[in-house]
Amino acid sequence: MTVAVLGSGAFGTALAITLGQKAPTLLWSRDPHQAAEMQKAGENARRLPGRPLPGAVTVTADMALASSADVLLLTVPMQQLRQFLKEHRAAFKNKVLVACCKGMELETGLGPIDIMVQVSPETSHALLTGPSFASDIAAGLPTGLTLACADDALGRRLQALLSTPALRLYRSQDVIGASLGGALKNVIAIACGTVMGAGLGESARAALLTRGFAEMQRLALHRGALPDTLAGLSGFGDLVLTCTSAQSRNYRLGLSIGRGEGFDASVTVEGAATAQAANALAQELALDLPITSAVAGLLEKRLDVTEAMTSLLSRALKEE
């Protein structure tokens, strides 16, 4: 099976770099000028500078060529996924689509698998998620990821195809758990960045991370996820990474909120829309997600940091 990565951002480029060390790999960019520049320079200077593309990676803006591959890794941001699938529906027919984005759609609360099922029912679907900063992956540093696919036979083929000496993929059939874990951890990372930015200390961060994990489980289990998935790489694993590293854009957005500073609106921060979508869903389902609600309040500027902390600390005392 041949592979193309669709979306030449930081993560798409990183995946193409690592997979291109194993087999010829196509990297698709929506911008012909950028594709030509990357191919010529052998590098994605804009999104992932200093990480050379292997010779087996071909960068192209030609979707007909890119979608000639058997397996298409979708690395466009979550809020762009539906439109992207609609635009290229004909080209994707009968292909295997592996979503690599993390989040919930703002208007619907749906995750990547739900959207692929809705918009591209004539394709096969899987999700690649877990702790994996683009620059680490591109540098060949090791990590473990979750390959979630409801169809176990296809999941096994994708696991073998996409694993590399540095990327160890674990299989799961729980697409709901893998999808929600990857989406919700970003919301908790914004919360953790905020407490660190506001100088509230590492103890507060550890408490938020832990209680945030409880919220992730509450919502995901209600939606039918398996507890083991949340405790795995796509949930707990990615939560720990994202809540403790300034490499994370979600964590950095939180830091800037905590410090009262601005943040570059062009940076992809999946947790922002997801916080609002998850908060709306929690209200609809009458689920108590106080940290998610506080993050949504901060992002919508209904709360400041002091009010958000007060809203969390002043709730009725309860059992853990």
Ligand X SMILES: NC(=O)C1=CN([C@@H]2O[C@H](COP(=O)(O)OP(=O)(O)OC[C@H]3O[C@@H](n4cnc5c(N)ncnc54)[C@H](OP(=O)(O)O)[C@@H]3O)[C@@H](O)[C@H]2O)C=CC1
Ligand Y SMILES: O=C(CO)COP(=O)(O)O
Show which residues are catalytic: 185
> Does residue 133 bind ligand X (CB under 6 A)?
yes
> Does residue 250 bind ligand Y (CB under 6 A)?
yes
Terminal CA-CA length for the chain: 48
User: Residue 89 or 287: which CB sits closer to ligand X?
Assistant: 89
Select the span of 118-126, 210-218, 245-253, 307-315 touching ligand Y (CB under 6 A): 245-253
User: Residue 67 or 268: which CB sits closer to ligand Y?
Assistant: 268
Using the rule CB under 6 A, which residue among 10, 115, 257, 305 binds ligand X? 10
Query: Which three-class secondary structure state does DSSP give residue 67?
Result: coil
How many angstroms from the chain centroid is the CA of residue 63?
23
The contact pattern for ligand X, residues 89-128, with x = CB under 6 A and - = no contact, is -----------xxxx-------------------------
> Does residue 84 bind ligand Y (CB under 6 A)?
no
> Does residue 12 bind ligand X (CB under 6 A)?
yes
> Does residue 76 bind ligand X (CB under 6 A)?
yes
> Does residue 31 bind ligand X (CB under 6 A)?
yes
Contacted entry of ligand Y, ligand X, none for residue 84, CB cut-off 5 to 8 Å set by kind: ligand X
Using the rule CB under 6 A, which residue among 11, 92, 213, 236 binds ligand X? 11
Q: Are 100 and 146 in contact (CB under 8 A)?
A: no
Shortest Å distance, C-beta 26 to ligand Y: 23
Cβ count within 10 A of residue 218: 18
Using the rule CB under 6 A, which residue among 132, 146, 229, 276 binds ligand Y? 132
Using the rule CB under 6 A, which residue among 6, 17, 191, 241 binds ligand Y? 241
Q: Are 193 and 254 in contact (CB under 8 A)?
A: yes
DSSP conformation letters of 105-143:
-TTT---HHHHHHHH-TTSEEEEEESS--HHHHHTT--E
Query: Pairing between strand 25-28 and 57-60?
Result: parallel
Q: Are 278 and 109 in contact (CB under 8 A)?
A: yes
Contacted entry of ligand Y, ligand X, none for residue 82, CB cut-off 5 to 8 Å set by kind: none
Burial class of residue 202 (count of CB atoms within 10 Å of its CB; 0-12, 13-18, 19+)? exposed
Q: Which residue has the tokens 């939180």?
A: 254
Query: Which three-class secondary structure state does DSSP give residue 108?
Result: coil
Using CB under 6 A, list all residues that contact ligand X. Answer: 7-12, 30-31, 47, 75-78, 80, 83-84, 100-103, 132-134, 268, 270
Q: Residues at the annotated binding site for NADPH? A: 11, 30, 102, 134, 249, 270
Using CB under 6 A, list all residues that contact ligand Y. Answer: 102, 131-133, 186, 189, 238, 241-242, 248-250, 270
